[in-house]
Structure 1
Amino acid sequence: MELNVVNRDINVENVRIIGIASSSLFLIGDAETIQQAATFDTPAESLIIGPLTPFVPK
């Protein structure tokens, strides 16, 4: 996959996050490289996929 981005001015005044996944990325600004990888060292039958994890701000 190739993604081309043209950077311009950015102004973020407010961010409200109401939920996150078990693997999440939240980014404001520049990043030259973002890499992701995943491995499982447990059997597939022990993997439990459920609803999103609730996010409670402090």
Structure 2
Amino acid sequence: MNYQVYNRDLCVGSIRVLGVSSSSVLMVGDTQTIQLAATFDTPPESLLVGPFVPLTPE
């Protein structure tokens, strides 16, 4: 995705953050590059990596 921003004269006195969603970015100032990352608070034993879905016995 290409996203182009043209900054004009803008003066911000203060920022009040009431809440943050799970996928949000709050930037203050100039930014040349944004690098996204993700972390999970899931325990390692519950993380399933592979092409197969585990089947549960009926």
TM-score (norm 2): 0.52
Point out the structure with max Rg over C-alpha.
2
Are residues 15 and 39 of structure 1, via their aligned partners in 2, closer, same or farther at CA, if it must alter by over 3 Å?
closer
Gaps of 5+ in 2: 49-58
Post-superposition shift, 1:25?
2.5
Deviations 1:1-29 (A, max 9, x none): 00011121220022111112355432122
Query: 4+ residue stretches of structure 1 with deviation over 4 A?
Result: none
Post-superposition shift, 1:32?
0.5
Are residues 39 and 13 of structure 1, via their aligned partners in 2, closer, same or farther at CA, if it must alter by over 3 Å?
closer
More strand by share: 1
Equivalent in the alignment of 1:6: 6
Relative contact order (alpha carbons < 8 A, sep ≥ 6): 1 or 2 greater?
A: 1
> Aligned runs of 1:1-58 on 2, under 5 Å?
1-22=1-22, 24-38=24-38, 42=44, 43=47
TM-score (norm 1): 0.52
